[in-house]
Chain A
Amino acid sequence: MKFRTILTIIGVVIGTSSIIVMVSIGNGAQKSITDELSGIGSVTTLQVYQDLSSMGMTSMGSGKTEDKPILNDDAIKDMKKIDGVVAVTPVVNLSGGEIEVDREQYGVSLMGVDYGVLEDMRYETTSGKKPGANDENSVILGKDILTSLTYTGASTQLTESEVKPEDLIGQNISMTIKRTNANGEEEIKTQKLKVTGVLESTGGNEDYSVIANYNLVTELNEWQTGKKANVKKQGYTQALVTVEDSTVVNAVTTEVEAMEFTVFSMQQILDSMGSVFQMLQILLGGIGGVALLVACIGIVNTMTMSIYERTKEIGIMKVIGASISDIRNMFIAESTMIGLIGGLVGIVISLVLSVLINLIAGFFIGGEGGVTISFITPGLVIFALVFSALVGLLSGVRPAIKAANLSSLDAIRSE
């Protein structure tokens, strides 16, 4: 192989590996962030709300019963029937509760869910256990509940309590809520809560909430507002739908949306982040692509030189019966080979580089199980190989046509 050809191949190697390494860094960033998000569990949980626009209509006071569906028990039953749905629970929230632990006051909000389906939901306890279906007063604590805002005198600040939520398992804590009655007097209600477990982090509101029985929270809400909840007419403000796994999230989302409810899921965030990362990869790939473009010009140059050098040979071949397409294909095959070999070597080099980058990053950043800065997918490898071969092929087209159209007699006479 000619030195010139080797240099050209090195050009392709640099181009290909810069694309792969650049895109792999984009991949790596995406992978670590999606892994982080998927790790926090709520990927398989959909949050369902009454259609926001329909709520707008009632507030405008049209007075008529709206034709939009209401998020009530019937709707929840219907959702339960959707393929892939494991559990559906209404959610009712109560804020403004206060608990006292170790003589410190903590503001808490309660999140009431249907204990009947708690077993099926993706709420796992890190310690303790989940309350049973009929445990009216049992609760699970969010893991950050005691690191939430603590009131120390006049100022508020984020401090971590010395008491861990785990320490409260098995204990009864008392929570107080307040209301202002019709006479403008403040009333206080104390509710005993039995802590059975601490919830694994979900990354959502749950971390800062107390998970309680739906019935209990409704009762407390009714006391606080002084009104009976009318689920049948007004519906729940929110429901949580737990699905089998992440593959059915989008299908279930579509079906629930078809019921004219607003759905919010981690999957949607991941999807929208996906397009951001795609942009990032195109950008990074484009930077690598510049190197491949330069390599492409190198191939054109090498092929053109090669044709000048082999003009006589081309002439001879044409005289002894090579057709125009024979000559053209010969040179295109040669430049495609340059691209392909460059691509293959480039892939090997990028795989090595990727491992090195991760090793070095791991060394500086630390962390268990290594760090993923650069992540090469099989798809990326195949893309790089096809792309480099294609670059070689396309670079060869013009020189090859030039070679094929040489006059055989002129070519054979050249020295």
Chain B
Amino acid sequence: MVETREQKERGSIKIFIQVRDLHKDFKLGKEDINILKGINLDIEQGEMVALLGPSGSGKSTFLNVLGGLVPPTSGDIMIRDYHISEMLENELCLFRREHLGFIFQSYNLISTMTAMENVALALTFAGVKKEIRKKRAIEALEVVGLVDRMGHKPSELSGGQQQRVSIARALVNHPEIILADEPTGNLDSKTSADIMEMIYRLNREENQTFVIVTHDPDTTKYCTKVIHMQDGLIESEVNQ
């Protein structure tokens, strides 16, 4: 792991995610609340970044802005050559489909669909043919070790299994970046460790870039970069 980091630092690996002076205000009644107050950040390809901070520090909002789910008030986000902050909603949809995967604390699976269908859904919108969708969904479920439960609905799966389905869904498009909002927040420590091990493995094997919002210091040990946020600003940025 240390070797890869050194490779990146010395090599020609360019900056993958570039955030410049990012602001986000929310209107609460008549008042403007500044959630993000000017964030600057560079992330390289293949990094695994942990975003830590107390509630209200803006870490989740930052992740959502990064994923194009919320437009920033001002500032610029570039992922590869794309100006996320300037994209229209439909362009963002296409961008998410091709480049981003999401993992949520509450899994966000569709309750009426089986594990396999949930994973394949992301491919449906990309216009992938049905047989190929199924094949790739099964491959993704293999990666998370859930092929034997692919016919089960989310309600028939444990929390850890549900989170693994949602990871498989995030993986199925082979995105370059996976954004995870408290992926282990609802899980016990044993399952949390399993999930983090899996994310770590994916990060190394597939060279996917992860940005993980967490409040659990245990998860940070898997990460290459740990960012502490406080009051809408980056307080500290530690490479490890």
Contacts and interface: CB of A to CB of B under 8 A. Distances in A.
Contacts of B64: 409
Given A409-B69, A409-B70, A412-B104, A322 B110 contact: no
A313 B111 CA distance: 9
A324 B93 contact: yes
A319 B96 contact: yes
A326 B125 CA distance: 7
Given A324-B90, A409-B64, A319 B125 contact: no
Contacts of A320: 96-97, 102, 121-122, 125, 169
Most buried by B among A324, A325, A408: A408
Given A409-B64, A409-B69, A318 B104 contact: no
Interface string A318-357: 1111111110000000000000000000000000000000
A401 to B, nearest CB: 13
A319 B96 CA distance: 7
Contact of B108 (A319, A322, A324): A319
Contacts of A326: 93, 125
Interface of A: 312-313, 315-326, 408-409, 412
Contacts of A317: 110, 121, 125
Interface string B77-104: 0000000000001100110111000101
B121 to A, nearest CB: 7
B33 interface: no
A317 B118 CA distance: 10
B173 interface: yes
A316 B97 contact: no
Closest 9 CB pairs of A and B: A321-B97, A323-B93, A320-B122, A409-B69, A322-B125, A321-B125, A316-B108, A321-B96, A313-B110
Given A317-B121, A322-B125, 12 more contacts: A316-B108, A316-B110, A318-B93, A320-B169, A321-B93, A321-B96, A323-B94, A323-B97, A323-B125, A324-B89, A412-B104, A412-B108
Contacts, number: 51
B126 interface: yes
Contacts of B96: 319-321
A368 to B, nearest CB: 58
Residues of A contacting B: mostly:
helix
Interface string B104-131: 1000111000000000011001100000
A321 B173 contact: yes
Interface of B: 64, 67, 69-70, 89-90, 93-94, 96-98, 102, 104, 108-110, 121-122, 125-126, 169, 173
B94 A321 contact: yes
Contacts of A409: 64, 69-70
A312 B102 CA distance: 15
9 contacts: A313-B110, A316-B109, A317-B110, A320-B169, A321-B93, A321-B94, A323-B93, A323-B97, A412-B108
A324 B70 CA distance: 15
A326 B93 CA distance: 10
A94 to B, nearest CB: 85
A316 to B, nearest CB: 5
B51 to A, nearest CB: 17
B70 A322 contact: no
Nearest to B122: A320
Contact of A321 (B89, B104, B110, B122): B122
A313 B121 CA distance: 11
Contacts of A412: 69, 104, 108
Contacts of A325: 90
Contacts of A408: 69
Contacts of A316: 108-110
A126 to B, nearest CB: 70
Contacts of B98: 321
Nearest to A405: B89
Contacts of B108: 312, 315-316, 319, 412
Given A326-B125, A412-B104, A319 B110 contact: no
Contacts of B89: 324
B140 to A, nearest CB: 12
Contacts of A321: 93-94, 96-98, 122, 125-126, 173
A192 B109 CA distance: 102
A409 B104 CA distance: 12
Nearest to A326: B125
